[in-house]
Amino acid sequence: MSFPAVFSAWLLVLLCAVSGAYCLRRVTRAGGPDREARGAAAGEALMGFGMAAMAVPAGIGPWGPRLLLAVFCGAALHALWLLRAGVHHAHHLVGSLAMAYMAYMAYLAYLEPPLAGHGSGAGLPLVTGVLLLYFAGYVLLGGARLVAVGGGGQPAAGGPPARSAELARACRLAMGIGMLAMLLTM
């Protein structure tokens, strides 16, 4: 792997880890009866840390893809549980399934290394293409919403709650960009 590729991979690890840490902070700050907000933030924290682990350039060992597959299948079940509160949680399900898909492709690459001519870990072109389209749309829409909420570069009206909502949107956007980058490198 060349230096620019390794540097980019570590930047992706950093972006995902920071996003996961911020979401974890949101879990601890969401108090009271808002269990749904804590559950969503916990799912986003798991996604950020899982993406960071998956993006490590040296790989995560032969046990890593299996562990991540199990974790993201569990996250997909959690996202299904959140769907009972409304369809606005569907993105958590898509993200969890996308991560499970990438972990499964990494697992297959360990079973049958690319040097053997099979199992390159590239995934199924149709599934990868659909996920790329979804996350590209998510990033474009999320970026447009973030700019609209921020007043096109102007400071947002309101105090800390408004800024906290903007940071949460920016965190989701960063993880969407990370997911798009991971899918592009498959």
Considering the chain, what percentage of its residues have pLDDT values greater than 70?
83
Interatomic CA distance for residues 186 and 169, integer angstroms = 26
Interatomic CA distance for residues 53 and 102, integer angstroms = 12
Instruction: Give yes or no for residue 50 having a pLDDT over 70.
Output: yes
Q: Which residue has the higher pLDDT, 114 or 109?
A: 109
* Range of lowest pLDDT (39-43, 105-109, 147-151, 156-160): 156-160
Q: Write down the pLDDT at residue 42.
A: 85
Backbone φ/ψ region at 15: left (φ over 0), alpha (ψ -120 to 50), beta: alpha
Mean pLDDT across the chain: 83
Instruction: Give yes or no for residue 173 having a pLDDT over 80.
Output: yes
pLDDT digits (tens, 9 = 90+) for 79-98: 898 888 888 789 989 999 99
Q: Which amino acid is at 31?
A: G
Q: Which domain holds residue 91?
A: 3-184
Whole-model pTM?
Answer: 0.81
Interatomic CA distance for residues 89 and 171, integer angstroms = 16
Q: Which of 4-8, 136-140, 158-162 has the highest mean predicted lDDT (pLDDT)?
A: 136-140
The DSSP element (H or E) to which 16 belongs, if any, is: helix 3-29
How many domains is the chain built from?
A: 1
Per-residue pLDDT, averaged over 91-116, amounts to 83
Task: Grade residue 118 by pLDDT with cuts at 50, 70 and 90.
Answer: very low
Q: Which amino acid is at 165?
A: A
Q: Write down the pLDDT at residue 3.
A: 76
Q: Which residue has the higher pLDDT, 59 or 50?
A: 50
- 110 secondary structure, DSSP code: H
Q: Write down the pLDDT at residue 116.
A: 46
